[in-house]
Structure 1
Amino acid sequence: MASSAMNLILERIALFQFTPTHCSQARGMLGWSIEQLSREAKVSVDDIQRFEAQQDVADAARLALTYRFEAQGLVFFPGFAPGRSTSNGSTAESVRGDYAMAE
């Protein structure tokens, strides 16, 4: 039970920290188009466009975007541009392999 509660807390933190501005900035840092991000994160182009336009999208889509960028070594904090993690980002995807969760 504690594990699911901790996961919920971590998801809420990730959702709070990752903003629509972060999404477009992170795409720019990686040189990814919306279409490439869609393929990488398994999130629809429409959801990404809505999110970057500051419209509502499902939490699962936002988490998938966040976790995909984190797997590339990016980190997000409110009020700051995305940054590069100082650790090797190769393990982020295995740690956050649940980013394609069903609603």
Structure 2
Amino acid sequence: MASQAIKITLERIALFQFTPAHCAQARAMLDWSIEELSRESGVSVEAIQRFENEQPVLDVTRLALAYRLESEGLAFFPGFAPGRGMNVRGSTPNPVGRADYAMVE
């Protein structure tokens, strides 16, 4: 039970910290196009465009993007550009393995 509560708390923190600006900045840092991020994350190009244009997307879509970018060693904090963490590989190294992955847009 406690591990589920921790998982939910970590997801809420990730949702709060990962912004549309972070997504675009992270893509630029990695030199990834929207199409490449789409291939890497399993999120549709249209959903990424909506997110980066500050339009609504599902939370699971935002998490899939955040977790995929985190798996490249990026860290996200409100008010700051993405940074490279030391030995950071994200809390979900394989977002596709998540039970709710089928909901990704």
What is the 5 A alignment of 1:2-41?
A: 2-41=2-41
Q: Is 1:64 matched up with 2:40?
A: no
TM-score, structure 1 normalization: 0.89
Corresponding residue for 1:44? 44
Structure 1 Cα separation of the partners of residues 99 and 19 of structure 2:
17
Deviation of 1:57 after TM superposition, in Å, equals 0.1
CA-atom RMSD, angstroms? 2.3
In structure 2, stretches of 5+ residues that fail to align are none
Query: How many residues were matched structurally?
Result: 103
Deviation of 1:34 after TM superposition, in Å, equals 0.3
Change (3 A) 1:70 1:44: same
Deviation of 1:69 after TM superposition, in Å, equals 0.5
Q: Structure 1 vs Structure 2: percent identity of aligned residues?
A: 59
Change (3 A) 1:57 1:94: closer
Change (3 A) 1:76 1:96: farther
TM-score, structure 2 normalization: 0.88
> Is the CA contact (8 Å cut-off) linking 2:76 and 2:82 kept in structure 1?
yes
Structure 2 Cα separation of the partners of residues 47 and 19 of structure 1:
14
In structure 1, stretches of 5+ residues that fail to align are none
